[in-house]
Amino acid sequence: MKHLVRAAAGALILAMAALPAAAQKKGGTLVMVVLPEPPTLASYLSTSGPIGQVAAKVYEGLLEYAPDQKPKEGLAKSWAVAADGKSITFKLQEGVTWHDGKPFTSADVKFTLMEVLKKLHPRGGITFQAMTDVETPDALTAVVKLDKPAPYFLSALSGYESPMLPKHLYEGTDIRNNPNANKPVGTGPFKFVSWERGQFVRLDRNPTYWRKGQPHLDRIVARFIADPGTRTAAMEKGEVHYGAFGAVPYVDVPRIGKLPTIGVSTDGYAMISPLMQLEVNTRKPPFDKVKVRQAVSYALDRKFMIDNIWFGFGKPSTGPISSNFKAVGLYEGAVRDYGVPDRVAIANKLLDEAEYPRGADGIRFKIVHDMLPYGDEWRRLGEYIKQALGDVGIDVTLRYEDVPTWLKRVFTDYDYNITSTFYYNLADPVMGVHRQYHSSMIRKGTVFVNGSGYSNPKVDKLLDDATVETDPAKRAAQYGEFQKILAEDVPLIFMTEMDFVTVYSKKVKGAFDDALGAYSSFAGVSLE
């Protein structure tokens, strides 16, 4: 574990944490702060981060992943890829039951993969595009049939990314509006108990969990605390044990990280490679012009943002693929550089060329910037963007709404100019990158896909070819050309490679033993 710093809510939380002495001996209650409150617990319909932090304790996937991202057994105890790459056989664990007591079988796997994830999951259209069928020769065997090799497939089967659902509760229903969406029934180490809106979700230990001896904890409480100062204070007082994804404000991390009871880590994010970006609406002026998008990209100082808003966590990004993929040859850094010394002068020149001259008041045009409703850092980012774009004659009005309203505005109504957000590259570009840029992923009403409306046939072909290319050198060349085109077209403004921070009580053990960190099941987590 990479420790960056040696060191380190209310009456309701205290009451819930104060379990009987006997229960505490079995593992106690872990209180995790989740920011913001998830709009739903249907992780099979939305990839919104807060949903995954809670739902992954209830739902499980066929596989789990070690810190080095290699797959390990989950609901599947073994897997075998056919020599031609067109089928994968999964052998399922024996004795697994859903939280309502029904047995978990290969029929659940087939239903989830074919009827839910392939059709409804935001990334399913890409991830499972090659999957044509799932054969179920017996209750504990599922054979995934593919019409072409899909080398990324085994990286997409975690409980966070591809949660298994009980067929008997979803088949024949309106899956998007199934009543179990907000009272999930899974096979995981923790069972959903209650959701007090605006306060917490309570998950209790699954006494019949298939992994003997797990989970160690008796209970997990996912607490929603809107005020950043209160989140920090709750961590300092020991009322909260765990906060990932910057739940504790970055401004407070250096200080409380020096406390002997508090730990700080950037581990647990190995499989997501998050990129912070500005999503722009390319459908209408002014962002239908590429020179305007390029000008905005030049106008923003990424180093300033990292140093002053995220307190040194992160580094500038150059395009749609994280430099974490350099090790496997899929990152291309030789692209247009928007961080040059004369970037502001270039931005002004491009805006002039785009026929947006300054008026008598110095303003070229006015836009609204919708800030990601995930906390104070995003407000600070909005304030910086307003100032930086104002310097080149773009008048920016800031807007901060709740999560459901923001999601609908951006991904359903397309009623926005520019918005801050972040996307995960995940374990392979097919899973995390294609959804933002492929024309087929312009899906009105589906969140966290191609919301900008970008469509380029040449890019589509490069992505399609890279999906099935098994020669590493050819695949690297395809993604290299893709990154060069995107750096010119900038359908999104590429900002930073984010370095998320987890702040935790040193009583918490085992929270960083999985590549997915806060998105893992916490079956192996314990409290000293």
CATH of the domain at 326: 3.10.105.10
- Higher pLDDT: 369 or 27? It is 369
Return d(Cα 31, Cα 222) in angstroms, integer.
6
Using DSSP's 3-state secondary structure scheme, residue 251 falls into helix
Return d(Cα 129, Cα 428) in angstroms, integer.
15
**Alpha helices for 46-87 (secondary structure H):** 49-55
Return d(Cα 236, Cα 244) in angstroms, integer.
15
Task: Identify the band that residue 27 occupies on the pLDDT scale cut at 50, 70 and 90.
Answer: confident
Contact 15, 224 (CB under 8 A): no
Task: Identify the band that residue 123 occupies on the pLDDT scale cut at 50, 70 and 90.
Answer: confident
**75 within some domain:** no
**263 within some domain:** no
**79 within some domain:** no
What's residue 172's pLDDT?
96
Return d(Cα 26, Cα 28) in angstroms, integer.
6
What's residue 19's pLDDT?
41
Two tokens, residue 91: 């052998």
DSSP conformational letter for 115: I
DSSP conformational letter for 131: E
Nearest-10 Cα torsion for 270, 271, 274, 279: 180
Two tokens, residue 426: 């995940």
**344 within some domain:** yes
139-160 in b/e form (b: 16+ CB < 10 A) is ebbbbbebeebbebbbbbbbbb
**354 within some domain:** yes
**469 within some domain:** yes
Tens digit of pLDDT for each residue in 30-56?
Answer: 999 998 899 899 999 988 889 999 999
Asked if pLDDT for residue 303 goes beyond 90, the answer is: yes
Return d(Cα 31, Cα 193) in angstroms, integer.
15
Percent of the chain residues past pLDDT 70, beyond the cut: 95
**489 within some domain:** yes
Q: Which residues contact 301 (CB under 8 A, 6 or more apart)?
A: 339, 343, 388
- Provide the residue range defining the domain that includes 464: 274-498
What's residue 152's pLDDT?
87
Q: Work out how many domains the chain is built from and give that number.
A: 1
Task: Identify the band that residue 328 occupies on the pLDDT scale cut at 50, 70 and 90.
Answer: confident
Return d(Cα 78, Cα 62) in angstroms, integer.
9
Contact 249, 375 (CB under 8 A): yes
Asked if pLDDT for residue 13 goes beyond 60, the answer is: no
**47 within some domain:** no
Amino acid at 190: F
Residues paired with residue 201 on neighbouring β-strands, in sequence order:
195, 222
pLDDT (mean) for 400-420? 95
pLDDT (mean) for 398-421? 96
Return d(Cα 227, Cα 230) in angstroms, integer.
5
Asked if pLDDT for residue 347 goes beyond 60, the answer is: yes
Q: Which of 201, 310, 293, 330 is nearest to 245 (CA)?
A: 310
Two tokens, residue 115: 């009827």
